[in-house]
């Protein structure tokens, strides 16, 4: 591998972009770092930023971070260390928790001119496809990792996806590079490590070109998935209610069972949720289509839940663990992320004249029963529950919509209306759930 050719290819693919190099300090990312630094030359070093994410999972984590900073300094590269909590939550694997924490941290640095470079390679791709096969995945899983994909406002790119682990090691040794060895990579209780250390060596002894063959099979699956998506997209357009990102059950019932599953997978995937199992996907179809009209079926899995209301399917973040009695202080000046509800609250203020200093005492509460509100342009107070019913707010959302208060006075029902006497003061409160625009 020639560093100059490597960087020139990056530059041709992403001209004038800034490259954020995900740098763990291991063999793969150390080679990626060196290829970028050596290939960029002094005139392009300012386009590179190495980012090390400290997951806080190993006693040596601080030492590893220092190693990475020194490695970057020796190459004349700018660098950052981001610290996250990589411990898994209930239902998460350790690998998934670390990856999600790492990607969330990296996204905090991404702009529309950013390309995040990660060092996943040919053997990683083969492992991924084998793991997906063993999990019974469909075409999307068997496609493996794409070379490039959207990542926040920018792009995530895998420039080493066609390069073997052995080639990376040879490059590192030839250039005298030093790297870290994470002891957790030896732990075969992790599925990927077991596959890498126990199974794949035996497969390679019989089929030496296994990694390339699996990667080629993954590309075939990706091509087939792309053609399928084009078809499913046309079906999806006929059933989706775009403003709510919901599915019309009457329209869905016009398709056969296989088509219905494809539409639901497409909907769930495009909304940023991990798809449920085949069993739960079938439950969504059967229970939502067959339940009596006065029932509100709910199908949950670890990544989300689907509910039915007034002839439509709603896709939601898991509702476990939310306490509607909580109060959240808010300055209004910055967006408020409420992670357990999977949503973000934004206040737009045309003018704060006349609003007064009392806005420093604003807070967010949630409906617990008995709340009254003064609708804009109307006299008197109305029961908030009745207002929700009239406006078609699904029952499960009523206790999860942020209510903006100053002291004990209800100012706004986020995403719906601003109450009197605050209506007309240039205020609006936008409440956006993940997967909805």
At 352 the pLDDT is: 47
Among the listed residues 138, 127, 137, the one whose alpha carbon sits nearest the alpha carbon of residue 165: 127
Q: Decide if 3-217 and 239-316 have a common fold.
A: no
pLDDT in tens, 151-204: 989 999 999 999 999 999 999 999 999 999 988 888 898 899 999 999 999 999
- Per-residue pLDDT, averaged over 205-232, amounts to 96
d(CA 226, CA 221): 9
pLDDT, one tens digit per residue, over 336-377 is 998 888 889 998 876 544 445 456 678 999 998 889 999 988
Distances 84 to 54, 99, 105, 180, 312 between C-alpha atoms, Å: 6, 11, 7, 19, 38
Residue 211 has pLDDT above 60, yes or no: yes
* Sheet strands (E) in 195-342: 240-241, 246-248, 298-301, 304-309, 312-316, 328-329, 336-338
Q: How far from 238 is each of 232, 241, 247, 271, 288, CA to CA, in Å?
A: 10, 9, 9, 17, 18
Rounded to the nearest angstrom, the gap between the alpha carbon of residue 180 and the centroid of all alpha carbons in its chain is 28
Query: Has residue 86 got a pLDDT over 80?
Result: no
The class (CATH top level) of 239-316 is mainly alpha
Asked if residue 68 has pLDDT above 80, the reply is yes
What's the confidence (pLDDT) of residue 407? 82
Q: Give DSSP secondary structure letters for 72-94.
A: HHHTT-EEEEEE------TT--H
The beta strand positions in 253-303, using DSSP E, are: 298-301
Which of the four pLDDT bands, split at 50, 70 and 90, describes residue 318? confident
The structure tokens listed for 79 are 């660098």
Q: Where are the domains of the chain?
A: 3-217, 239-316, 328-433
CA 85 – CA 56 distance, rounded (Å): 6
| Chain position carrying tokens 């290819």 | 9
Q: Quote the CA–CA distance of 305 and 303 in Å, as a whole number.
A: 7
Between β-strands 427-433 and 343-349, what pairing exists: parallel, antiparallel or unpaired? antiparallel
CATH number of 3-217: 3.40.50.620
Q: Which residue has the tokens 């959240």?
A: 328
């Amino acid at each position: 591998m020639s560093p100059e050719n490597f960087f020139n290819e990056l530059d041709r693919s992403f001209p004038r972009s800034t490259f954020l190099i995900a740098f763990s300090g291991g063999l793969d990312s150390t080679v990626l770092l060196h290829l970028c630094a050596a290939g960029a030359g002094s005139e392009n070093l300012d386009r590179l930023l190495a980012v090390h994410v400290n997951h806080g999972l190993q006693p040596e984590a601080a030492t590893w971070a220092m190693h990475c900073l020194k490695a970057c300094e020796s190459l004349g590269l700018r660098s950052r260390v981001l610290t996250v909590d990589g411990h898994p939550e209930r239902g998460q694997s350790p690998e998934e928790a670390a990856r999600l924490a790492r990607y969330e941290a990296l996204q905090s640095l991404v702009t529309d001119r950013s390309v995040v470079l990660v060092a996943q390679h040919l053997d990683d791709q083969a492992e991924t496809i084998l793991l997906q096969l063993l999990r019974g995945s469909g075409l999307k899983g068997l496609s493996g990792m794409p070379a490039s994909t959207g990542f926040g406002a920018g792009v995530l790119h895998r420039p080493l996806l066609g390069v073997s682990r052995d080639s990376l090691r040879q490059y590192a040794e030839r250039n005298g590079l030093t790297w870290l060895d994470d002891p957790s990579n030896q732990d075969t209780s992790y599925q990927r490590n077991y596959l890498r250390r126990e199974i794949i060596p035996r497969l390679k002894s019989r089929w030496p070109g296994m990694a390339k063959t699996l990667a080629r099979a993954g590309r075939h699956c990706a091509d087939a998935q792309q053609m399928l998506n084009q078809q499913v997209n046309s079906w999806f357009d006929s059933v989706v209610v775009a403003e709510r990102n919901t599915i019309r059950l009457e329209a869905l019932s016009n398709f056969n069972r296989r088509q219905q599953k494809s539409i639901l997978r497409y909907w769930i995937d495009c909304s940023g949720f991990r798809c449920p199992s085949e069993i739960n996907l079938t439950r969504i179809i059967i229970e939502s289509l067959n339940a009596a009209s006065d029932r509100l079926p709910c199908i949950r899995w670890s990544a989300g839940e689907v509910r039915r209301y007034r002839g439509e399917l709603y896709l939601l973040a898991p509702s476990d663990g939310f306490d509607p009695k909580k109060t959240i202080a808010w300055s209004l000046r910055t967006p408020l992320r409420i992670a357990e509800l999977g949503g973000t609250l934004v206040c737009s203020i045309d003018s704060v004249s006349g609003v007064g200093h009392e806005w420093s005492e604003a807070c967010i509460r949630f409906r617990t029963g008995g709340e009254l509100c003064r609708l804009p342009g109307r006299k008197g107070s109305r029961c908030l529950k009745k207002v929700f019913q009239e406006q078609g707010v699904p029952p499960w959302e009523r206790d999860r919509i942020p209510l903006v208060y100053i002291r004990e006075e209800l100012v706004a029902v986020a995403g719906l209306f601003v109450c009197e006497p605050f209506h007309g003061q240039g205020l609006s409160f936008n409440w956006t759930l993940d997967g909805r625009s």
